[in-house]
Structure 1
Amino acid sequence: MDDSVYEVAAEGMIEVLKKIPESEFRVQLSPRHNTILHIASEFGQIDSVQWILMLPSCSSLLQCLNLNGDTPLHLAAREGHLEVVEALVCKERELHADIETGVGADKEMLIRMTNKGKNTALHEAVRYGHYEVVMLLIKEDPDFTYGANDSGITPLYMAVEGGFTAAVKLIIEKSSTSPSYNGLMGRTALHAAVICNDIERGDLEIVKLLLEKSEKSVAYLRSKDGKKTALHIASFHHRTEIVEKILSHSPGCREQVDDKGNNIFHFAMMKEGDDDFNPSSYFFNYWLRLRGLINKKNAQGNTPIHLLSLKQILDFEFVRMHMVDKKAYNNEDLTAYDIILRAKEDNSEKKDEIQRLFELAMTEDICSFWEKEIKGRERKKERKEYISQLQKQGETHLIVSAFITTVTFAAGFTLLGGYKEDDGKAILSKKAAFRAFVVTDTIAMVSSLCAVFLHFFMTLHKRGKFLEKHLLWAFIFTRVAMGAMAIAFATGLYAVLPHSSGLSVLTCILCSCFFLSIAVEYCKFWRGTISGMLGKLIAGEAKWGE
């Protein structure tokens, strides 16, 4: 196809189009074998399309295919050009109605034609959300059941997967025949509605539509990947409203399991990271309050409570419920309690909490049960308060450490006595007092910087043992920095003051009083405190492990 002809078709230059011989409309092809009618339809040039459809050869152009197997109707529907789609469909209807001449009567209806991907024009319109085009195509041929394309996807499945509620309603309500529910990997449209569920997008309404308008068996259909039903998927994603809706429609599907023997309760335990959902909420559903369902074993012999321990799900009500068999063994002869004992500790600290729940739930004396529960909550509260106290202390110490770091860093570059003009070295560099000043100032700066570093890491953890250890070491570094800073101050003044003057000696004596105050304070208070903190570090977290 000449570039000039391509531009004429794409831009709708109808006057130039009329000068092209009719024989050229079938011969002129683009690299993808699009005819002039294909291009005009794709670009939505309604005037050009209507003029071409008046040509005697338009019947062959209507059903002409490009390299992808697309008709002009496919391209117009894909781009959402309603007027073009309507013109093409109306012309095709006229040709089929011409019974006497038989023009096009033996050909497949244009609206039902599929491309190489087995997509009809309706597939294309639904995929890209062109509601008015979808409505027109369904109204034009309500008796046709649109099958799946090469990917196994029907227009209904496509509309559900995209959250296109209006199109789902239209396909279900306006089609005179029951629409196909097939989809990708053997899933149904109901599977897609559950997987793509978004309350704000309206997919819950789609689920209701599919259940109300479809056959009863739709809730029992299982996907090819894992033999999962829509109920299993809804349970995995913790879509409680959808679970209730499916059970109210088809309560018998609660008995179904996947290819690994997992039922609705197993799937509820599989998803990690959703702390807002408790599987015990299913106990409020009439169809799920049965021991056989709650204690069902899968292929590994795991009941739902085994998975609760494996995934470390903190659900007190589920563990406490008397209908739950906490002594059930899996294929490895392990109970749920055995699994949580062997589990590795995680950062969320759920392991100890779940272990305590099992121990409380298996206690025979109910009074003892609640007594331990109350004590456990009190210990947890005390622990949180203690950690909060450590964090506040760390914040206060951080200010002191940062101040010392700033002062000593500045003192290192504003040296006493100044610098020599010839070589830039310190004037007092040969004095012993000055050298003592430099060394102690460096010690103070490095020690305080280490304390700041430890305080920074304290913000990343919430474990009591970690905070105690880092706070103690940060405290020690800060005290060393304070002592070194006092010595640096004394030696600095001693270096610049006349040695014959009593002022230099007095300065050193006054600075030494700082160390005297440290000794007094240590004897009165800090000896016991530091010893206690060291004792806690050695003993570990025995207090919290009880």
Structure 2
Amino acid sequence: MDPSTSSHALELQNLNSASSGNQEDFTCMAPKIYKAAAEGDTNILEGMPSADLRVQLTPNKNTVLHIAAQFGQLKCVVWIIQHYSADSSPLQRPNLKGDTPLHLAGREGHLEVAKALIRAAKTVSERDIESGIGADNTMLRMTNNENDTALHEAVRYNHSKVVKLLIKEDPEFEYGANFSGGTPLYMAAERGSRDLVKIIIESTNRGRLAHTGPMGRTALHAAVISHDPKMVEDILEWKPDLTKEVDENGWSPLHCAAYSGYVSIVAQLLDKSDESVVYLRVKNYGNKTALHIAATRGRKRTAKLLVSRFPDCCEQVDINGNNVLHLIMMQRRFFKRLIKIPWMNVGALINEKNVEGQTPLHLLADSQLRFRSDYIRNKKVDKMALTNQNLTALDVISLAEDLTGRKGGIIQSLKQSKARVGPLLWQKTMRKGKNSSKKVRDKGSDISFLRKVSDSHLLVATLVATVSFAAGFTLPGGYNDSDGMAILSKKAAFQAFVVSDSMALGLSVTAVLCHFCTALSEKGLQLAVLLKFAYLLTKLGVGAMVVAFLTGLYAVLPHHSGIAILTVIICVCCLVLNYALLGEYEKNVEARLYMLESKLDLGKFFRIRT
């Protein structure tokens, strides 16, 4: 920087500070000069004394050249450069944030302004004594307070033409990371700028191209996370060894692709990577491999691809001793096709125990997610395998709390597959003396639960019977005075009304009689069976009553009128909604009945009856 300019500026700043009574280093630019530089009006600038023009600074210490470059005023930039002929200091002068005019031109994407600044720097004859490089390269390599070069700024705001220009002017320089850890290549990949990635790779000396990013990630990590297969392909063609590089948490690009389920990218990485990449583990994620991560995330296609390409990777276990089948059993999605792969369907894998002695079947029972009947019926699955606590899969589900309403169904499915309780539960069952009083209390509470359900169902059945009975004597349309017959008896809608109303009455009355029978029974077995039968009759009776109401209204309304159609729509929607609500209620009741199965032995009852 010119010493005279520096001293002049310092004097002006001190003068401003003294006049305002404030010691803060504050500067401001004359409004007309700022507007002239921003709007490209060189006439006003030409009328200013050279000394005054040099000391004009904004609060961020931007010079008139900064302002003209920022707003893309090429004519004004050229005039200012000529005004400072043979002097590189205005070109390299940073503002308060460390930005040179080239930083601002790159940030805003002003290509022609960037070209003019670089041409001006090339014409300056002075050399950087320490580095021995020209003023143009010095300017290109200057960093601001965030350690960003002009290239970083152009990449950040996706100005491809400016990026290409800056790299072309200094292709041998290795643009390092800024204070956020991003190199230009990483920043382009992270932002999904495929064109910029291609430009940077093709234009830079490949041996000097930096590719790192924050947290130890590489540009390949960023491309995978951006889910851009074409960008991944470009980076792999440039440097396939990046597949083996992991970030500071141990995640490779393959781990990231498996986590997100990007099957096509996983295939690309497998094609270009060394075999060892598949077996890499993520230490801070349970020591899991890419296959474990895919299974944990429910990525079926990704897991199948990994196992198909590298069969023995399924033998690896995580930090808890879980293999891929253990992890699959805890997911809502079932990997049916994956399990059918030959090297996945072996007893050593199917019945392998983790550190707690649990096989995949134990975790399946404990998760209570889905029944997985195909897996449970597999003859290779050991249903009597014991955990470290001597529990079988049936013991695990029997002792667990019913979290999803599926516990009873899972128990039934396991029993049908010949699963049995283990020695621990048998031992507890044999302690009749100690537990006899508890069993009596449990039996009493079970019967009490059934009676409460019966009382509520009886109320509904009685209400349906009452409404149906009353509707039978207040027929829609009325009666003929001559013979007392129904006026609408020949209409199909009326006939449907009569049939459905009769069904509602018959079903509900039968349900009421079932509930009367439950009041006379003291055996839990009979109570459960009668309750299930009465519930079915009541549900059908409610549906028949709604149909009777619908057909009765339809019989007395004009069939093609809007009110008739609207009535039909409302009744149908109500019927569907009611049965949906009944379905949820039925799940809860069924789950409770399944839990009572071992005490009431409903299966034995039905076998005796049939």
- Report the TM-score, using the length of structure 2 for normalisation: 0.59
The partner residue of 1:222 within 205, 222, 246 is 246
* CA distances 1:80-119 after superposition (whole Å, capped 9, x unpaired): 000001101111122157799x999589710110100011
Query: Which residue of 1 is the match for residue 377 of structure 2?
Result: 360
Match of 1:32 among 36, 60, 74: 60
Partners of 1:340 and 1:93 in 2: CA distance: 71
Give the counterpart of 2:224 among 165, 169, 194: 194
Q: Which residue of 2 aligns with 1:235?
A: 258
The residue aligned with 2:400 is none
1:153 equivalent among 182, 187, 211: 182
* Residues 219 and 250 in structure 1, CA contact (< 8 A), matched pair in contact too: yes
Q: Is the 8 A contact 2:176 2:210 kept in 1?
A: yes
State yes or no: 1:289 paired with 2:315.
no
CA 1:96–1:343: 2 relative to 1, 3 Å: farther
Asked if residue 540 in structure 1 is aligned to residue 590 in structure 2, the reply is yes
What is the deviation of 1:477?
A: 6.0
Change (3 A) 1:19 1:482: farther
Three-state SS of the structure 1 residue aligned to 2:292 is helix
* Contact 2:156–2:188 (CA under 8 A) maintained in structure 1: yes
Structure 1 residues 158 and 362, CA, compared in 2 at 3 Å: closer, same or farther?
Answer: farther
Tell me what 2:326 maps to: 306
Q: Equivalent residue of 2:377, what SS?
A: helix
Partners in 2 of 1:534 and 1:281 — Cα distance?
Answer: 52
- The CA distance in 2 between the partners of 1:476 and 1:18, in whole Å, is 101
User: How much has 1:517 moved relative to structure 2?
Assistant: 8.5
Q: Partner letter of residue 334 of structure 2?
A: L
CA distance in 2, matches of 1:188, 1:103: 32
- What corresponds to 1:163 in structure 2? 192
Rounded to whole Å, the distance in 2 between the matches of 1:182 and 1:59 is 32
* Contact 2:254 2:290 survives alignment (8 Å): yes
- Cα distance change, pair 48–242 in 1 and its aligned pair in 2 (3 A): same
d(CA) in 2 for partners of 1:474, 1:227: 62
User: Given the alignment of the two structures, is residue 250 of structure 1 paired with residue 280 of structure 2, yes or no?
Assistant: no
Give the whole-Å Cα distance in 2 for the aligned partners of 1:332 and 1:46. Answer: 73
Whether the 8 Å contact between 2:38 and 2:71 is mirrored in structure 1 is yes
The whole-number CA distance in structure 1 between the counterparts of 2:508 and 2:107 is: 79
Task: After superposition, give the CA deviation of every residue in 1:355-377 in whole Å (9 maximum; x if it has no partner).
Answer: x2321334489xxxxxxxxxxxx
- Asked if the contact 1:142–1:175 (Cα under 8 Å) also holds between the matched residues in 2, the reply is yes
Change (3 A) 1:262 1:471: farther
The answer for the alignment partner of 1:328 in structure 2 is 352
1:284 Cα offset (Å): 3.0
C-alpha distance in structure 2 between counterparts of 1:32 and 1:2, whole Å: 14
1:299 is matched by which residue type in structure 2?
Answer: I
Match of 1:76 in 2: 105
Q: Are 1:318 and 2:345 an aligned pair?
A: no
Cα distance change of structure 1 residues 14 and 327 upon mapping to structure 2, 3 Å threshold? same
Change in Cα spacing, 1:529 to 1:56, as seen in structure 2 (3 Å) is same
2:206 aligned with 1:209 = no
SS in 1 for 2:77: helix
Distance in 2, matches of 1:115 and 1:483, equals 89
CA distance in structure 1 between the aligned counterparts of 2:36 and 2:501, rounded to whole angstroms:
98
Given the superposition, is the C-alpha separation of residues 476 and 169 from structure 1 closer, same or farther in structure 2, using an over 3 Å criterion? farther
Which residue is equivalent to 2:363?
339
Query: Which residue does the alignment assign to 2:40?
Result: 12
Query: Unaligned stretches of 5+ in structure 2?
Result: 1-28, 383-455, 486-496, 515-531, 537-585, 598-602, 604-610
Q: Secondary structure at the match of 1:33?
A: coil
**Distance change (3 Å), C-alpha of 1:300 and 1:89:** same
Alignment of 1:377-416 (within 5 A): none
The Cα shift of 1:471 comes to: 12
Task: For 2:304 and 2:469, locate their aligned partners in 1 and report how far apart those are by CA, in whole Å.
Answer: 59
Q: How many residues align?
A: 410
Q: Is the alpha carbon distance of 1:474 and 1:190 closer, same or farther for their aligned partners in structure 2, counting shifts above 3 Å? A: farther
Question: Match for 1:210: what amino acid?
Answer: I
Q: What is the aligned partner in structure 2 of residue 419 from structure 1? A: none
CA gap of 1:516–1:24, structure 2 versus 1, over 3 A, is closer
- 3-state SS of paired residue (1:540): helix
Query: Cα–Cα, structure 1 residues 519 and 312, in superposed 2: closer, same or farther, change >3 Å?
Result: closer
Question: Per-residue deviation at 1:52?
Answer: 0.5
1:93 is aligned to 122
Q: 49-58 vs 64-73, which deviates more?
A: 49-58
2:363 is aligned with what amino acid?
A: I
Pair 336,83 (structure 1): closer, same or farther in 2 beyond 3 Å: same
Structure 1: distance between partners of 2:351 and 2:114: 66
Q: Which amino acid aligns with 2:326?
A: H
**1:54 is paired with a residue of what secondary structure?**
helix
- Checking the alignment, whether the CA contact within 8 Å between 2:465 and 2:505 is kept in structure 1 is no
- Do residues 129 (structure 1) and 158 (structure 2) align? yes
C-alpha displacement of 1:24: 2.6
Is the 2:36–2:44 contact (alpha carbons within 8 Å) kept by the matching residues of 1? yes
The C-alpha deviation readout for 1:124-163, integer Å capped at 9, x for no partner, is 1111111110110011000001100001000000111122
Q: Is the CA contact (8 Å cut-off) linking 1:296 and 1:303 kept in structure 2?
A: yes
Q: What is aligned with 1:386?
A: none
Distance change (3 Å), C-alpha of 1:476 and 1:221:
farther
TM-superposed deviation, 1:221: 0.9
Secondary structure of the equivalent of 1:269?
Answer: helix
How far the C-alpha of 1:71 sits from its partner, in A, is: 0.4
**CA-to-partner distance for each residue in 1:203-254, whole Å, 9 max, x for gaps?**
211111111112x431111111x21000111111111222222122122311
CA contact (8 A) 2:468 2:505 kept: no
Per-residue CA distance 1:20-63 (angstroms, 9 max, x = gap)? 22223331111111111001000000000000010236521111
Q: Which residue of 1 aligns with 2:171?
A: 142
Q: Distance in 2 between matches of 1:183 and 1:281?
A: 29
What are the ranges of 5 or more consecutive residues in structure 1 without an aligned counterpart? 198-202, 346-350, 366-469, 494-502, 508-514
Note the alpha carbon deviations across 1:506-541, whole angstroms, 9 max, x for none: 89xxxxxxx999996568666668967535569837
Deviation at 1:472, TM superposition (A): 11
TM-score (norm: length of structure 1): 0.66
Post-superposition CA distance 1:414-453 (Å, at most 9, x none) = xxxxxxxxxxxxxxxxxxxxxxxxxxxxxxxxxxxxxxxx
